[in-house]
Structure 1
Amino acid sequence: MRPCSTILATAALAASVMFAVPPAAHADVTDLKVTTAFDRLDPDRVATVTVTAKSASGVTDVRANVRHPNSRADVYATLEFERVAGTDKDGTWRATFHPDVETRPGNNSVEVLVESADGATAKGYTDFRDCYQTTITDVTTGPDVIDADHPEVDVHGKVMVQKSRDVAPAPVPSAAVQGGGKAVTTAADGSFGLALNGMDPLYVRFPRQGTLCEAGTYGSTPTIAKQATQTSAWVQTLMPVAIGTGMTVEGKVLRRGAAGLVPAGDVTVEGYLNYGKPEQKLLARGYTLKDGTFQLKPAPDRSGPFTVVAGDTAFLMGSHASAGTLDVRRPVAFADINVEPEPGGYGDPLGVTGHLVSDLNGLAQARVIMEFSADGKTWRTMATQNTYSDGWFHLTTDDSKKDGYWRARYAGDSEYMPVVSGTHYIDIKYRTHIYHYNASPEPVKKGGTITVKGLLYRFRDVAGAGPNANIHIYFKPKGSSTWTKMAITKTGSDGWFKKTFTASQDGTWLARYWESAGYLGSNAPSDYVDVT
């Protein structure tokens, strides 16, 4: 333990000065000044109030009201002043007062009233603190050297009170002493001990208590043995990222303590792009938790190496670590994506159309990929094409033989982000066609028989006739625009169908195979028959 000097409060108190401004109608009293002198160690404990003032008409009376503990309290004493120097137009007035520290300890407010011959009254204010002189003595601090493992400093001392200079200081027992947010009580001999954080000012304070004045002092500042730190950092967000996108960088800061590497909590960490270079940029700031871990959320605007810096603290030396290189690119999006036809024909051309844009502008000469997936998980390339100068594209394929999902993808490059469009589910069906369609005979006599026949063909992997399929027969009379369903007939095993009708009027006969779960609708051929 080593001794240190203590700060002793002065025994004599010079009160603060306040200047009074006379009422606007009377400005006779000027240069009003009020002071109070009070020597706490004077055995007589006399407070002397001095007033200096000027008046063109002459000062006729000076008196004062004394209040405790502030200027809003009731008056408990009135002072009469005597001029001790100068004249009534420019003089000095003085009054003495014996306050009672046991009855009214602490602050006493003095309101001075100065009257002049013109009838004006000017006011001035002062105050004094009435209490017994208190000091903190015999202050020692230790240890001389502290570190992060042992950050506390013990501050010891004694609280002493001296009521007058002809009486020796005496210990103050059972009194509160404060420091570093803590409080202890003095022992019978006035002694105390406080364990304070060495990073904070080693200030101990005895607040005013009853008749005892406040006191305070500083302990000696110890030497800090700083410990080295070790920082690690890594990027959690998958690269690349679009400009301005929030990302996550995590890491940990350790310190080399007495027991080896241990977590370093409450350390400021900062994330820099291009650390150490002229164009370096601070992107994020955070703090380590108790376990030494941290998380930063930078939003970079360009690519480059990203470094995390753990700053110096009172007990630790800073360190830094590379989190890797950020890959930051301009954002890209697909717009106006369309997949057609819907449903699609087995083996027929199928197209994906859309617009590739960046910052609302079309991205020219960018390679776009058309992809297909039967399950929405595993994708394969069906076609590729470069966008036109305005960013539009139209990808087509004839390899459309399964139901499934279609999308467009841009793989990106060193400047632009990769992007995938939304998916479109397309139902693929076999095409159908009616061949050799005929409504006969033509012409036919009214009341005669009209025979409608044809061959339904299905274009599957191996094209062939469509057996046992429903064929809808429609008739539209001459001069009409309305079709009327006349019958439904089925194809035979060879795909042929035939249906007879009684001829009644001129008109057109149409056969149609409607779309089903696995097949597209037919070509709906028609034939005109003249009835005579």
Structure 2
Amino acid sequence: MRKSFVLSLAATALLAAAPPALAAAPDVQAGVTLAASGAQRVLTLTVTAKDPVGIAKVEAVLRTKDGTSFQTVSDFVRSSGTDADGVWTASYRSDIENHPGTITADVTVVNHDGESTVRPVSYNDCYPTTIEATSTPERLDLDHPAAHITGRLLARRASDEEPVPVPGATLNVVPNKTVTTAEDGTFALDLRGRVQTTISFPAAGRYCRAPYKDMRFTVDQSEVTLTARKTAPSPLPVGTPVVVSGTVTRTRADGTTVPVEGISVRLTPTIGNRSVVATTAADGTYSISFVPQGTGNWNVYAEGSIYTVQSPALWGDVLVQDKTPTFSPLTVTPSPVARTRPVDITATVSRTAVDGTRTPLWGEEVFLEFSSDGKTGWTTLDELRVRDGKVYATIDADRNGYVRLRYAGDTATKPGTSEARFLDVRTGTEFTHFNAAPEPISPGGRLTVSGELLRLPGTSWIPAGSGTPITIQFRADGSTAWTTMGTTTTDKNGVFRKTFTASKSGTWRATYAGSATYTPAASGTDNVRVGRRTAFAKGFNVTPEPVRRRATATAAGKLLRYAGGWRPAARGTKVELQFRPSGSSAWKYFGYAWTNADGTFRLAFSAPADGTWRAVYAGSATYLPATSGTDYVDVR
């Protein structure tokens, strides 16, 4: 005797209470079950209905998923209860061959008042399926990286029948593969790079969705050996790429070393850059290029995979010349400079970073270089040490040309040079024996300025020769500006002279503007006092003499001025009395007196000690100073 089995099919309205109707409609619940035995597939609809006036009619219309009706079930029989509260059932055969898949039974229940309730109930009319699958080998590794999966898809038409193969079915294999079953329901595929997978069969036609088939694989991971080699100059100019290359290998059980293909190698700089990844080729080689953003380190390692263990990281460094030497313009003093004379050269040197920040050099060497044309043939004149960003050099000038500073660079700073500065070397010139006379001098007097201009063509000074233009300049007392008073030329001995009319006190000098061959020059200065002459008349005297200590002594004299002839100084002219004690060389102020209308003056005082006395007139804007004769007084 065959055993039958009953399937409880999913129903959207099964055991669900109907919502209250607007009118007095029956309260309906519906469900469906399947009994499959042999070739018989019988479906039973069970309807539970309640209505106070009693149930008059129950029927159901079957439709497919697309809404097409294909059968009406009307032979419902009340199997229990009453018309007002009972259970009605009806059985019918499945039409799975023609209408497989989701079927909806729209159950209609009508009461004796003609009020009705429609309750849909759905079920999936299909054959249950099962996936069988196994894989080989038992353990995966780099030598056996693919899992060979074989299996079959089976369907059970009835509980008392053996499952049958499902041909032509498409199965999904995680992550993104599909496989189609053969006529006997079998399938086979190779899966690489996975430690697990899931095989699934979605519902198709008369076949139900199969339960997922989960599979896990045992993988033996291999250790790998990473090599790395940096290809780049050191130090490295900014913007220059660095290439790191190498191999990834492993050692087999038999001791042989073989390359590993498809391994991700990751390089990470410690400054600025993001990681860069490359994949090993068939020969196990890789190559990674990156542009470092500054001096720092990098590390590289082979990432782990399903078949390999992550390698230890290898480290390297890179020195980037990301700073630029910055030179101030060279200062050359004097310029032009006399040949064989020393010339001072100064400048500042700093490092400029990419962000514009400047830092003075300290302790580094720079080279002072010379070139005759400023373009080629640079030779080193001196090696200089930078102190707090400053460079000083003194050289003996011997020829025209160009000078510059050169910094050789270091691990952080690029090489660089300053702008070239022209070194203007000429034959030296110099004034000697410069004089303005007479001095002092009266207004309107004839003042002669003279001197000699020399040249240094070799190691000895010689006269400048005739015809060299000389400029005579004057700076009045109290002023800072020089005024050109006239010009003259040298004679064959380099001597020059020029006569002027004296008008005011001040300082005189001579200048030579220089030429393409000779350096400019300026003489020393000579201050000349201009004013009317003054003098003390003979007979300045201190009386009595000798004199007792602290007794009264009197100094007397007469001050004269020249105005077409010698005349007494005006009343009220101040005259100072000075004293120099015996044994001393210093004059000391002792007092003053005012002149009378006849230019005479007198000053009484207490005699302090033995010594010499004199009278001094300091002068004014109009009159020149004067000093009297001296008088020694013996104090007892």
TM-score using structure 2 length = 0.49
Tell me how far 1:348 sits from its aligned partner: 1.8
Instruction: Determine which of 187, 191, 196 is the counterpart of 1:196.
Output: 191
Match of 1:414 in 2: none
Q: Select 1:382's aligned residue among 358, 376, 384.
A: 384
Q: Counterparts in 2 of 1:459-470, with a 5 A limit?
A: none
Residue identity opposite 1:351 in structure 2: A
Which residue pairs with 1:405 in the alignment? 405
Which residue number in structure 1 is paired with residue 529 of structure 2? none
TM superposition shift of 1:163:
3.2
Who is 1:229 aligned against? 224
CA contact (8 A) 1:64 1:110 kept: yes
* Cα distance change, pair 377–426 in 1 and its aligned pair in 2 (3 A): closer
Q: Give the aligned residue type for 1:350.
A: T
Alignment partner of 1:372 is 2:354: no
Whether the 8 Å contact between 1:352 and 1:408 is mirrored in structure 2 is no
Q: How does 1:311-460 map to 2 (within 5 A)?
A: 312-320=304-312, 322-323=314-315, 338-341=328-331, 347-352=343-348, 354=350, 367-372=362-367, 374=369, 381-385=383-387, 393-399=389-395, 403-407=403-407, 418-419=412-413, 423-432=417-426, 433-436=428-431
Aligned residue identity for 1:261: T
Residue 504 of structure 2 corresponds to residue 512 of structure 1:
no
Q: Does the CA contact (< 8 Å) of 1:343 and 1:429 recur in 2?
A: no
Note closer, same or farther for the CA distance 1:132–1:347 as it changes in structure 2 (3 Å cut). same
Q: Report the CA distance shift for 1:424/1:128 in structure 2 as closer, same or farther (over 3 A).
A: farther
Match of 2:280 in 1: 289
- SS of alignment partner, residue 156 of structure 1: strand
CA offsets, 1:313-365, max 9 Å, x none? 332244325436x6999x9978985243169867423232558999999989x
Q: Name the stretch that deviates more: 425-434 or 144-153.
A: 425-434
Letter in 2 for 1:314: I
Q: How far apart are 1:149 and its partner, in Å? A: 2.4
CA distance in 1, matches of 2:301, 2:246: 11
| Superposition deviation, residue 221 in structure 1 | 4.8
- Larger RCO, structures 1/2 (Cα 8 Å, 6+ apart): 1
Deviations 1:204-252 (A, max 9, x none): 44444333334366486554343332123456678899xxxx9886553
Q: 1:78 to 1:184 in 2, by over 3 A?
A: closer
Shift in Å at residue 427 of structure 1? 1.8
TM-score of the superposition, structure 1-length normalised?
A: 0.56
CA distance in 2, matches of 1:222, 1:91: 57
Cα deviation code 1:40-74 (max 9, x no counterpart): 7785545667789999xx999999997754xxx54
Q: For the residues of structure 2 that align with 1:525 and 1:434, how far apart are their CA atoms?
A: 10
8 A contact 1:111–1:123 mirrored in 2: yes
Per-residue deviation, residues 137-192 of structure 1 (Å, max 9, x unmatched) = 4x443223332122122222333334334555433334434435444443333333
Q: 2:166 matched to 1:172? A: yes
Identity %: 22
C-alpha distance in 2 between matches for 1:62 and 1:314: 63
- Structure 1: distance between partners of 2:522 and 2:108: 117
CA distance in 1 between counterparts of 2:117 and 2:473 reads 117
In structure 1, what is the Cα distance between the partners aligned to 2:94 and 2:518? 113
Paired AA for residue 383 in structure 1:
R
Matching residue's letter, 1:156 = T
Which residue is equivalent to 2:145?
151
Distance between the aligned counterparts of 1:129 and 1:141, measured in 2?
32
Contact 2:265 2:280 in 1 (8 A): no
Q: Which amino acid in structure 2 is aligned with residue 348 of structure 1?
A: D
Q: Deviations over 1:368-391 (max 9, x none)?
A: 324126479999841143xxxxxx
Asked if 2 retains the 8 angstrom alpha-carbon contact of 1:144 and 1:222, the reply is yes
| Residues 5-24 of structure 1: CA deviation (Å, up to 9, x unaligned) | xxxxx994653768999999
User: Alignment partner of 1:396: what SS?
Assistant: strand
Aligned residue identity for 2:423: K
CA contact (8 A) 1:231 1:253 kept: yes
SS of 1:199's partner is coil
- 3-state SS in 2 of match to 1:320: coil
Unaligned runs of 5+ in 1: 1-9, 275-282, 386-391, 412-416, 444-449
CA distance in 1, matches of 2:17, 2:496: 122
Q: Decide which of 224, 248, 255 is 1:253's aligned counterpart.
A: 248
Q: Is the contact between residue 63 and residue 71 of structure 2 (CA under 8 Å) also seen in structure 1? A: no
2:532 match: none
2:311 maps to amino acid: S
Give deviations 1:93-134, integer Å, cap 9, x for gaps: 988786644444434568899999xxxx99998754333333
Q: Is the CA contact (8 Å cut-off) linking 1:136 and 1:160 kept in structure 2?
A: yes
For the structure 1 residues 143 and 355, does the alpha-carbon distance in structure 2 shift closer, same or farther, using more than 3 Å as the test? closer
Per-residue CA deviation, residues 399-434 of structure 1 (Å, 9 max, x unaligned), is 59752334597x7xxxxx854686422324034454
Q: Output the amino acid matched with 1:232.
A: T
Task: Give distance in 1, aligned partners of 2:325 and 2:120.
Answer: 78
Aligned twin of 1:131: 126
Question: Over aligned residue pairs, what C-alpha RMSD do you find?
Answer: 7.3
